[in-house]
Structures are given as structure tokens and as C-alpha cells.
Structure 1
Amino acid sequence: MTRTNEEIVITVPAPLANAARALRRHGVLLAALAIVAAAMAWKTAVVQHAYFKEDDFEFVARAMESELSLDYLTRVHFGQFMPGGFLLAWLSARVEPYGWGVAAGGVLIVHALAALAVYRMLRVVFGNRPAILAPLLVFLIAPITVPALAWWAAALNTVILQLALPMAVASHWHHLRSGRMRHAVAAALWVLVGLLGFVKGFAVPLVLFALTAIYFGGLRSALRRHWPAWLMQAGVLAGFGAIYVQRSLSAPGTGGLPSFEQATGFLWELLGRTFATTVLGGPWTWFAANDWGVASPPTAAVIGSLVVLVALVAVTGHYRRRALLAWATLLGYVVIADALPVLLGRVHLLGSFAGTDTRYVADAAPLIALVVGLVLLPYQGEADPYSRALPARERITGACGVVLGVFAGASLVSVTIFGGYLGADRRHGYIETARAELAKAPADVVVYDRVVPADVMPGSYRSYSLTSRVLGAMASPRLRARMQAPPAALDGMVFDDRGRLVPVEVAGVPLVPRTLDRCWPVTGGTVQVPLDNSARRPAGTLVRLDYSAKADTRVTLWMADRPTDVELRTGVGKIFLLAVPGADRITVPDVPPGVCVGTVTPGQAVPRP
């Protein structure tokens, strides 16, 4: 019997074959996009539970009150010069004032772009290899970035620098390899973007210079061969610095030098506790409540984290050439860009506690990803990357997989615990109630000012703690103007502590006429109503003036040199009007017959009981 061997040929449909080839060609990119999408969905699920707080309210109010001008964009806010952040704030507020979905969504989009920029940076430096997905994952799941995203004011500038830093590194690395000036120009422009987002962007050129000196020929070569790139970046820094200094001179100063104890305590908190633990997936415990949280790792976790970091530095330095210099670059950035500005700005006010806030180091996340790559992987085209023979590939892969898995698990735990503290039902309910009240308020309503409840907005924000600024952001331009300069009215309104519009009353000491009819006497057709203690009366004082009239009539009230016309209604009523600072009396000339001007009460606007 003869057996014929026949070759079996399986024909794969052309679309499947093309898809398979595309997957092999673009597999790393597709995997990166999948990782970014999954991480952003996870962060969105966490951040959606947060809400506006503190500076956020001022940013929304300023955006709604201001045109998109250079004066608005270049305002220095407590030492922060952030035109890019204010641009994002203006756009978000104009789409929907106090719309958390719009505001948080905007910064999450920029953060997602930053993740793609990190992927581009890793691909440019290390090539298109699957191993770059590991440092990308480090950037995406590091707990260090999440608290900043949950605080809109912090995210507005942090995400821009997170985008600019890796883009600058990628462009500069292209320039170093190709020598083309267009890449150097692009790097300088990205430095400018970083500066416009966050003053800390001044440290990006230092990172670029360090990378050049470490990986492209040393210090002298970096200075001699690439001086045009440094000249462009110096020009960017000089121009930005001139504008920043000029604008800072007209801004309230908040800087100051801390004491030695404050400085050392802050550095230990920021570097030894906050950064050392969060860079490994910590801090695992938070000092947190009311939609807010800072790192509060236990002592054992801090000691363990420091030991692990020393071990990682030692092991990578033992095998990988220039690994110690890469670690030093990361530490230098955190000290110069993250610790130093806060040390010279706010530590004297907040003390060492400022070092527990992870938002001060969140901008370092892209550099962490780069350094993780540099201490493990040879960069593209690098010859002889390791100083000694490596262990077996299986052992290296297994060890790196375990470390990455532990980091991922620790990060998930830390972020999940942090997310449990998010939520601001009180602030959200107050804002949404006020939004509904303003929407149905009559066009001619007169709303007097009062301080927003302290559990919504601290009174330390001064004029931006007032309802006319915070809640006025949701009003029409005409009503907002009336809220900030309300006219005299017989039936004024005020926001209560729940955000409802209710009739106004004045909390103060009544000044009662000592006449039998309880009316201030008329002399020569004029009534003089005294306002005692005018020198100690704060700005924004509201005055209630009681009256009675036998018929509808008009009177003119003079306070200092400002006249106010009021239409009185028949019967007993009251007039509400803002006090003029320094005025010691209300003068009513040409008092019509049958009009009695009675008790006057200067004080603060409150809801009527």
C-alpha cells in the first residue's frame, strides 16, 4: 500500500492576516493605549467623588468675573504664576461654573495626555520595546498623582508640568541624537509650556542638562556641543522670570524664611516620609477627612521604605552604568523643584506639616518613570550599558515582575484608602441649592452679602469668602453685579447656611430714638440719624432703617457724600442699605409729611429668623 503524504495548507483570511501584522508592528503602542485607558478610568472613578474646595472657589469666581485678558492670566496667586492653569480654569468655569464633571474632566484629559507624553519619552529614549510599559505603568498608578487630581487648584498647574516635562525630554533627546535644531526649539517651547503651567518648570532645563552630561559625553561636552540649546532655554527662563518678578511686585507677599526647626522638619516630612513612601506605592495611611488628605505613613512603613530604596539604589548601581547619577538626578529635582520653593514660600506659615502634602511632589511622576527606565534598561543605541554580567534573564524578569506587582498592589491599596475619604456632600449641596435659587430668583431681586459658611469656604479668603463672589459666579452678569454692589431695598434677601435665598435681617445693636414717638427729630425739614462706632465698623456693614409712612413717597438718604433714592410704601416698613465706610450718620433732607424715621441698626446681614 502506498501512502501519499499531502501537505495541509491553512489559508488565513486577508483581514486577519493584516490585523496580526499590525498587532506585531504596533503591539507596544496598543498595549500602552490600553494601559492608559484603564488607568484613566480607574482615576476617574476615584476623582469623581471629590469636589471643589478652598482655592477652587476663588478660581471659579475670578474666571466668571474676568475677561480672558493678560491681567487675568498673569495674576500671581500666593506665589503661584500659572497662566496655563488659569486658562484651563477660565474655560472650565465658562462651560459650567462649579461643574465638577467639567472641571475634573478637563484636568484628567491633560493628565491622560501627560501619560501619552511619558510613553513618547520612553519610546524615544529606550526604543519600541515591551519593557517600556513597566515605567509607564509606574507613572500611571503611582499614588503620588491622585491627591493632586482630586484638588482642582492643585491639578490645574501640576498636570501641565506633567505634560511638558516628558515632552521636553523627548524633544531634547531627539536633538542630542540627531543634532537638528528644530528638536532643540521644540524642547525650549515645552520648557515654556511647563513654566506657564507651574513655576517649578524652571527645573526642567536642569533635568535636560543633567541627562545630557550623564549620557552624552560629560559636563564639558554638554556645555560645548549643545550651547545653542542652552541659550534658547536660558532665554525662555529669562523672559519668564522678568514677567514673573514684575507681576510678583504687585501681588500680596506670602514668602518668608522658616526657622531651622521648621525647615529640617519639612524636609524630613517631604523627602523622608512622603516621597520615600509614595514612590513605592505608599503611604498606605492618610491624615484625611472631608474630601482632603495628606500622607501619614506609620513609622515602620517609613523605615521599611527607606531600606527598600537604599537596596534598589545599591542593586541598580551595582549592575547598571550611571544608575547612581540617574537616581541623583531624581533626588536633585525633588529637592530643587519641589522642596525649595515651598521651603522659601509657605513653610514659615504651615510648619513641617507642609511636607505631608503629596501635591508638592506630584509633578515629579514623569521623571520617576524615566529614572526607573534608566536604571534598568539600556537606552536606544547605548553600548556596554552594564558594568558587570547580569544574572540569568529569567531571574531578572521574575524579580522585576515581583517588584512591579508589589508596587501595583501597594498603590491600589493606598489610592483606594484615599478615595474613601473623598466626598463633600455639604459643599455640593450648598452650591447646588444656591444654583437652583439663583435660577428662579426674580430679575430685580436684591441680595445682600454675607460670609459663606466656614465648612464650605474658610473666611481667610477674605472677599472671596463672600456669597457675592462664591455664589455670584453662578448668577447672570447683571445679577452678579447687583450682588457685589447691592442697592438699597425694602425687601432684601440673603443666602442662608443651606444656600437658600431668604429674607434678610441685620445682626447688630439697634440705635433707638429717645423721643416719645420713637422717631428721630426733624430739624429744618431734615432728619439726622446717628451711626455710632463708625470707625470700628467693618466694610460690608448693612444698615436697617425702620420707618413709617402715611402714603407712598420717595425720600433721599445721604450717607457721607452718597445719595440713595428710596420709594417708601404706606405703613410700617424698613430700609436696607450698605453703610459707607467712615460715615457717622444718615441724613434725610426734605422729609415728607407723615414720614417717621425710626430705629437704625448697623451690623451684618443674616437670615431673618
Structure 2
Amino acid sequence: MHRLGGGTRGRFGSASPVIVAAACLILLQLALRGWVAGSGYFYWDDLILVGRAGRYPLFSTDLLLHDHDGHFMPLAFVTAWVVTEVAPLAWAGPVLTLLVWQLAVSLSVLRVLFVLLGARWTLLVPLTFFLFSPVTLPAFAWWSAALNALPLQFALAWVIGDALLLVRSGRRRYAVSGTVVLVIALLFFEKSVIIPFVAFAVAVLAHYVDGRPHHVDGRHSAIRVVARRGARLWVGSGLVLLCWLAGYLTVVGVSGVHNNPLGMRDWLPNATSLGMVPALVGGPWRWERWLPAAPWADPPGAAVAAAWIILISVVALSVYARRSVWPVWLFAAVYVLLMQVPVALVRGGPNTAAELMQSLRYFADFGVTLSVVGALILRASPREHTQRLLLGPRAAIPLMVLFVVSSLCSTYTFVRSWSPSPTKTYVANVKSALEHWDGVPLLEQEVPWDVLNPLAYPQNLASQVFSPITAPGTFADSTPHLRMITDTGAIVEAQVWWNRRIIPAPDPHCGYRIHGGDPVPIDLDGPMFEHEWTAQLNYLANRDGQLAVAFEHGKTVAAPVRQGLNTVFVRLVGSGSALRISSRTEGLVVCIGSGPVGVASYDN
């Protein structure tokens, strides 16, 4: 019968070959993940994090307490702020954070496996699965997703290890350590609420597989022992969860359920059969992608069937060959189900594709949990007369090599699908163009839809996305020289379409005369619906000053004017059949003539 942390009974010298081998595997994974990270670029929500980091100071509620699509993640915003402050819109910064976090996660997983199995060569089996399984790959490659997923994985493995050590030794430091790590994880990702519950379940299962489960009270005894010996950690975690919940509900609130049980019938099987089960054997080998969406698992049908056969065979063989492991597999099955349901409920809906569940980025923590499940099974005592069914090193090594090769194939196909990025070209060209900015403001505009979806408005505005690298006044609501950023990131001349026009005024010498603070109605030749429009105001001013411009229904915009005959282009949001213009400068008289009001565009 194994004991928790059994490896500590060996001297460091006897443990070193296993630890050296584990370290080599971790370094190999780090090199592989470095290639994956280097092949990517800022994607979607990354630009929101960078944009907010460029606009708000570090210790501001607008940054730290921002409700990011239902996520409460102040430490993720802190990380993004620091990286952006050091190297604004430079991909090297996110790559470094990804690799540092990945190393921390891998070492945390090694720690918990060492606690469960000691310095035994069998430790390398679950460690290899975690290090190379594609189940953690999509969440790693996307920086904003990784700022949620990697701290969760680290904390999950660390707190499980602390729970096991606390139950074994009773030392208070493990309760303190586990509670502190839980706090940090919760401030990166709200899904970290699962950590103490998973840690409790694993500690119970470890005690159970070590005991005499054929006794009637074996199961209940394990629960009582773990609850009593780990009470400091469980009480501390409970208090932390209560405090965190109060903060979460204050910032985010309770989001509605968007799906229904009928819709979940497609979502859950897709995530399991086409995503997680193939990943258990190194799949899915093939990824599909429709730009600008993220890749999703699309394994061949025959491969899915083979993965299920392998999984069922492994489960059946382990239950037959080892004592007390069926509760471990039951725990794994329940974990998979409970992990999927919240995603299906919160992210699902009639306008969301079921392929979202196949992207695997929501299930990266499954890699940690299944590695621990594997360690628990290897920890269980073999049944009598089944020694011949247990794999020895000669059989295990080829199987591990096959798994790694399979995982490398899936990693390669993922990177090939993930690396095409319209954002990379767009951002590089905009950065280059802004280096030669002449001081004349650019009108505010949205970035291309394949860089950041309009659903992210107003965070998809160019002024927000490029806030870390732009000088004050680079973007404005009015400009004397109309230029636009193209979909490829070049800054070019632009013009206003004649969707509507300003009707010429009766006064042939002045047109519409603007003076004083009372708004003057400037009639259009037809109504305009609620939208973003650009008004081209051709004017003659007696002095420099400022006008206030708005639609009949919309927000007022300040537009500077210069003495003489000039033009100013004003970006307006609103609707109506007329503009309302007034003077904000004492003594300013402006005559406005006819001109277009419509969509600003450039020649392709």
C-alpha cells in the first residue's frame, strides 16, 4: 500500500534519475510551447486587454474591476497592463508570460504527481500525458484565454498537492499555502471556485485507494478523515469563496442562461466525442477553422471510434487489474460532465455554433485533473493474479512514445491552422504608419471585423485598440483632413459618401449663419437612421473657434474651426433629418454651405 508522498522516503540520489527525466520532459514541452506561442499573435480579446491597459492606470477600478464578458479577472488585467507598459503591442511580452506560466504549471503538476506516486518511474506516465496532450493547447495559444487557464491549472495542481500533504502531515503551512494560491487563482479566473472541491475529492480518493474499500464504512471513513485532517484548508477556502462571491456579484452580477436542454444535446456530445476523448490519445489530429474564429477539433470519424475503444479498454483493464479504482473513474466522468454544463448554459444559444465546445479552450483544467486521475490509478494496489496485466517499462515506453508522436502531429496541425492572422499584418502596418503621424487627427473608426468583432463596441474602436502606442489627439471626433485606416493597416485619403446632403440655405452669401449659443437647424435632404455618420462641413469663419455639432437625436461633438474658407469633417452618432450646430466661442461667426453627410470611405 502506497502512502502520500511516499517518494520522500528515498534519498535525493535515488530520486534524481526520475526527477532528471521529468525535468527533461518539461524542458521539451517548454520548447514546443515556445514554438506554438511564437507562431501566434494578438487575437480578439487580447486587443481588448491591451486597449484597456493603454487607457487606464494600473490601480483604477475601470481596469481592475471591469466586467469582461462575464469574467472577473483583475490579476489578468494587471498582467496585461505590465506587459503593455513594458512593450506595447509587442508579441514578445505575451510569449514570455505564456512560457513563464507554462513552466510554473508543469512544475506544479510534477509536484502533485510526486506527492501521489513518489520518485517512481511510473510518475512519468501521467506527467507525459499532461505535458503533451493537446487538451491544454488551444487555451495556451490564445493569450487572453491563457491568462485565465494557466493560473487555474497551476492552482488546481498546487492546492491538490497541499490538500494531500495537509491530510498526511497536518502541517498548517499547507493550509495557508493552499488558501493563498486559491485567492490568486480566483483573481485570474472565476472558474477557480472548483479548486477546493476537486482537491477534497482527490484527497478522499487517495485515502480510499490506500485503505480497505471492501469494508462497508471504507468510503465514509475516507471522507471523515479528509474532512477532519484538512479542516483548516476547507474552512479557509470556504471563507475565501464567500468573500470572492460577494465581490464577483458586485462587479459582474448573475448572467442569464442562454441555452436550453434540447440545445445541449448537441453541445455536450460534440465536446466529449470530438474534443476531449480524442485528446486523451493525442488527438484530434485535424483542426478546422473559419477565419476569424479560433480553430476547433475536427477529428476523422474512424479516429474518434478508435479513441473511444482505447479509452473503454483502459478503463476496463484498470478496474479489473487494480483495487478500488472505479470511484476514480466515476469522479473523472462526473468532472467531465460538470465541466461542460456551465459552458453550454452560459455560452450557448441559438446564435452560437456548437463547434465552440470543440475548441477545447474551456477545458484546459481537464489536463491536470486527468493526470491526477492517472496517478491515483497507478497508486492503487494491483489485484492478486493480475500482475501479468500490468504494463512494464518495456511496454509503457513505446506507448508513451506513440502518444507523444500523436500529440506532436495534433500540435503541428493546430499551429498550421492557428498561425494565419489578419491582425498581425494590420497591427504592424498601423504601428508603422503612426510612427510618421503628422499631428493632424484621424477620425475615430472601428478596426476591421476580422481583427475585432463589432460586438465588442466600443472597445473595437481604433483609438482604444491602439491607445498604448498613440499620442494624445491622434484620434478625434473631427479633423480638417479626412484620412482612414484601411483593412490592411495603411493610412490613406478618404471621402464622404453623399448618403444625404445639406440642403443649400436661402442666403446665397452665407448659407447657414452660425453665431451665438443657440443651435441652428441645418436641414438634410432626407432622414438618417441611428448610426455612425461623417458630416463634411464646408465653412467660412471670421476667426478660430469651436462649433458644437449634433444630429436631431444624438450626442453633441466639438469641432474646431479655423479662420477663413475651410472644411472640417465631423464624426457623429445619431439620427434625424437635420443637424444642429451652434458656436462655443464668443464672437465666432461661421457660414456653412452644402456638403455630404454619410459614410466615410476610401478607394480600394
Q: Which moved more, 1:403-412 or 1:390-399?
A: 390-399
Asked whether the 8 Å contact 1:289–1:421 carries over to 2, the reply is no
How far apart in 2 are the matches of 1:157 and 1:545?
Answer: 48
How far apart in 2 are the matches of 1:506 and 1:147?
Answer: 42
Deviation of 1:417 after TM superposition, in Å, equals: 1.3
2:562 counterpart of 1:568: yes
Which residue identity does 1:368 align to in structure 2? L
Deviation of 1:434 after TM superposition, in Å, equals: 0.8
* Structure 1 counterpart of 2:451: 456
Residues 263-282 of structure 1: pairs in structure 2 closer than 5 A: 263-282=264-283
2:530 counterpart of 1:546: no
Residues 361-376 of structure 1: pairs in structure 2 closer than 5 A: 361-376=363-378
Uncovered stretches (5+) of structure 2, i.e. residues with no partner: 1-10, 208-220
How far apart in 1 are the matches of 2:393 and 2:205?
Answer: 26
Q: Deviations over 1:101-131 (max 9, x none)?
A: 2112212210111001111111122112232
Match 1:119 to one of 103, 107, 110: 110
User: In the superposition, relative to structure 1, how do residues 539 and 533 fare at CA in structure 2: closer, same or farther (>3 Å)?
Assistant: farther
User: In the superposition, relative to structure 1, how do residues 38 and 510 fare at CA in structure 2: closer, same or farther (>3 Å)?
Assistant: same
Match 2:418 to one of 418, 422, 426: 422
How far apart in 2 are the matches of 1:154 and 1:47?
Answer: 13
How far apart in 2 are the matches of 1:66 and 1:523?
Answer: 38
Q: Count the aligned residue pairs.
A: 569
Asked whether the 8 Å contact 1:207–1:329 carries over to 2, the reply is no
User: In the superposition, relative to structure 1, how do residues 188 and 331 fare at CA in structure 2: closer, same or farther (>3 Å)?
Assistant: farther
Deviation of 1:244 after TM superposition, in Å, equals: 0.8
Which residue identity does 2:281 align to in structure 1? L
* SS of aligned partner of 1:602: strand
* Structure 1 counterpart of 2:302: 300
User: In the superposition, relative to structure 1, how do residues 515 and 70 fare at CA in structure 2: closer, same or farther (>3 Å)?
Assistant: closer
* SS of aligned partner of 2:570: strand
2:228 counterpart of 1:232: no
* SS of aligned partner of 1:316: helix
Residues 428-507 of structure 1: pairs in structure 2 closer than 5 A: 428-442=424-438, 444-476=439-471, 478-479=472-473, 483=475, 486=476, 488-507=478-497
Q: Which moved more, 1:464-473 or 1:282-291?
A: 282-291
2:317 counterpart of 1:315: yes
User: In the superposition, relative to structure 1, how do residues 533 and 344 fare at CA in structure 2: closer, same or farther (>3 Å)?
Assistant: farther
Which residue identity does 2:413 align to in structure 1? I
* SS of aligned partner of 1:553: coil
User: In the superposition, relative to structure 1, how do residues 331 and 474 fare at CA in structure 2: closer, same or farther (>3 Å)?
Assistant: farther
How far apart in 2 are the matches of 1:109 and 1:356?
Answer: 27
Which residue identity does 2:309 align to in structure 1? V
Which residue identity does 1:547 align to in structure 2? Y
Deviation of 1:257 after TM superposition, in Å, equals: 4.0
* Structure 1 counterpart of 2:156: 165
Residues 82-481 of structure 1: pairs in structure 2 closer than 5 A: 82-216=73-207, 217-249=221-253, 255-290=256-291, 292-336=294-338, 338-348=339-349, 349-378=351-380, 385-392=381-388, 396-442=392-438, 444-476=439-471, 478-479=472-473
How far apart in 2 are the matches of 1:282 and 1:401?
Answer: 19
* Structure 2 counterpart of 1:28: 18
* SS of aligned partner of 1:542: strand
**Pairwise CA RMSD:** 3.0
Uncovered stretches (5+) of structure 1, i.e. residues with no partner: 1-20, 379-384
* SS of aligned partner of 1:350: coil
**Given the two structures, how large is their TM-score scaled by the length of structure 2?**
0.86
Asked whether the 8 Å contact 1:282–1:411 carries over to 2, the reply is yes
* SS of aligned partner of 1:454: coil
* SS of aligned partner of 1:300: helix
Which residue identity does 1:500 align to in structure 2? A
Which residue identity does 2:430 align to in structure 1? A
* SS of aligned partner of 1:68: coil
Asked whether the 8 Å contact 2:283–2:299 carries over to 1, the reply is yes
User: In the superposition, relative to structure 1, how do residues 418 and 447 fare at CA in structure 2: closer, same or farther (>3 Å)?
Assistant: same
How far apart in 2 are the matches of 1:78 and 1:372?
Answer: 35
Query: Which of these two proteins has the greater Rg computed from alpha carbons?
Result: 1
Which residue identity does 2:307 align to in structure 1? S
User: In the superposition, relative to structure 1, how do residues 279 and 532 fare at CA in structure 2: closer, same or farther (>3 Å)?
Assistant: farther
Deviation of 1:185 after TM superposition, in Å, equals: 2.0
How far apart in 1 are the matches of 2:249 and 2:442?
Answer: 39
Asked whether the 8 Å contact 1:512–1:599 carries over to 2, the reply is yes
User: In the superposition, relative to structure 1, how do residues 137 and 510 fare at CA in structure 2: closer, same or farther (>3 Å)?
Assistant: same
Q: Which moved more, 1:521-530 or 1:395-404?
A: 521-530
Asked whether the 8 Å contact 2:533–2:572 carries over to 1, the reply is yes
Q: Which moved more, 1:400-409 or 1:512-521?
A: 512-521
Asked whether the 8 Å contact 1:509–1:601 carries over to 2, the reply is yes
Q: Deviations over 1:366-408 (max 9, x none)?
A: 1221212221235xxxxxx223234349953333233322211
* Identity score, percent: 26
* SS of aligned partner of 2:418: coil
How far apart in 2 are the matches of 1:254 and 1:499?
Answer: 36
How far apart in 2 are the matches of 1:387 and 1:592?
Answer: 95
**Given the two structures, how large is their TM-score scaled by the length of structure 1?**
0.85
User: In the superposition, relative to structure 1, how do residues 535 and 149 fare at CA in structure 2: closer, same or farther (>3 Å)?
Assistant: farther
Asked whether the 8 Å contact 1:520–1:527 carries over to 2, the reply is no
How far apart in 2 are the matches of 1:61 and 1:524?
Answer: 39
